[in-house]
């Protein structure tokens, strides 16, 4: 192999990065055996890990994810939970949630007692023991990893931000644009989108003319917004 060639074997053995294909994994869940990402081909999915069943912060998160599951479905996305606990522990925990908090958890939960899935996805962090940190992975219909979020064990996730990120990724793909901070409720620019900056002089000069013709908000050739 030459110095410029990439060893795909080495790459696939490490923690996946943004833009990589999600690792091929066969997992046991509360809904049976699943193959990731193949069983979700053509769909978005959001995989999120939690440190353990029967823990308070995780319980609030699972309730919140379930309460927002239809909103994820409206964005053509499925939810998948994960922890290092066994399937029977997941079942007992979700039964408790249903009985005590009146929420029937409808998404599958991966039982990763071997830790193989957590290891493959970089969910076990030094100094955190064997429990999985609060990770979120958004995977697109082609099985590519598009977003990773990590939260410490002490802090519950912001489900609104996971939904916002999913919608933003889909909008960016569909419209070929970038999106401002806090989109779609940016304090200064509302729900407008950003055009990608031109990559050469000719396109930079043409951008301002285009902006005038299309009624874009052109602050400069490199900072131009448009309505979606």
Cα pseudo-dihedral 181, 187, 193, 194, rounded to 10: -70
Residue 34's φ and ψ, nearest 5 degrees, are: -135, 150
- Rounded CA separation 197/207 (Å): 9
- Rounded CA separation 54/168 (Å): 33
Q: DSSP string of 191-214? A: T-EEPPPPSSHHHHHHHHHHHHHH
Going by C-beta distance under 8 Å and a sequence separation of 6 or more, which residues neighbour residue 201?
none
Alpha helices in 68-158 (DSSP H): 69-74, 87-101, 116-120
Q: Count of CB atoms within 10 A of residue 72's CB? A: 20
Distances 164 to 18, 182, 198 between C-alpha atoms, Å = 18, 9, 27
| β-sheet bridge partners, residue 139 | 45, 145
Catalytic positions, written as ranges: 58
Distances 87 to 93, 113, 153 between C-alpha atoms, Å = 10, 9, 21
Which residues contribute to the annotated binding site for substrate? 134
């Amino acid at each position: 192999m030459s110095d410029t060639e990439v060893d795909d074997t080495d790459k696939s053995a490490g923690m996946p990065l943004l833009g990589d294909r999600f690792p091929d994994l066969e997992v046991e869940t509360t809904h049976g055996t699943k193959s990731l990402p193949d069983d979700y081909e053509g769909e978005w999915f959001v995989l999120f890990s939690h440190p353990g069943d029967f823990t308070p912060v995780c319980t609030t998160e699972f309730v919140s994810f379930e309460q927002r599951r239809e909103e994820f479905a409206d964005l053509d996305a499925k939810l998948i939970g994960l922890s290092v606990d066994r399937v029977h522990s997941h079942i007992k925990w979700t039964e408790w949630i249903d009985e005590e908090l009146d929420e029937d958890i409808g998404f599958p939960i991966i039982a990763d007692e071997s830790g193989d899935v957590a290891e493959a996805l970089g969910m076990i962090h030094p100094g955190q023991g064997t429990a999985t940190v609060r990770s979120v992975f958004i995977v697109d219909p082609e099985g590519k990893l598009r977003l990773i979020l990590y939260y410490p064990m002490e802090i519950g996730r912001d489900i609104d931000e996971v939904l916002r990120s999913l919608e933003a990724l889909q909008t960016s793909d569909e419209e070929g644009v970038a999106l401002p901070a806090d989109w779609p409720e940016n304090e200064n620019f509302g729900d407008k989108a950003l055009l990608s900056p031109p990559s050469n002089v000719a396109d930079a000069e043409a951008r301002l003319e285009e902006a005038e013709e299309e009624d874009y908000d052109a602050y400069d050739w490199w900072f131009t917004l448009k309505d979606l």
